[in-house]
Amino acid sequence: MQIFDTLRNMKTELEFSDKVRIYLCGVTVYDDAHIGHARTIIVFDVLRRFLESQNIPVEFIQNFTDVDDKIIDRAQQEKIS
């Protein structure tokens, strides 16, 4: 299986020793939700499910940022915090 390596800017063969580790920096929603938020989650969920269907162990970690500087700044601008 080949994946696109953004560091090398090319397709490379997926190599792993005991499991594939995926860390997904999830969405930081500081405005209305949109399809882009769902796309990221769906793409990586499909990848994880495919790897698992091939009996490849997967460690999948995803974060969701609830509050960050952009959210605080916007709340102050709108005088809602």
Instruction: Please state the domain extents for the chain.
Output: 2-77
Left, alpha or beta for 55 (phi > 0: left; psi -120 to 50: alpha)?
Answer: left
What size, in residues, is the chain? 81
- Rounded CA-CA distance 1/11 in Å is 10
pLDDT tens for the chain, 81 residues: list them. 898 999 999 999 988 889 999 999 877 777 777 898 889 889 999 999 999 999 999 999 998 877 778 788 888 888 886
Q: Is the pTM of this model over 0.85?
A: no
Cβ-contact 68, 28 below 8 angstroms: yes
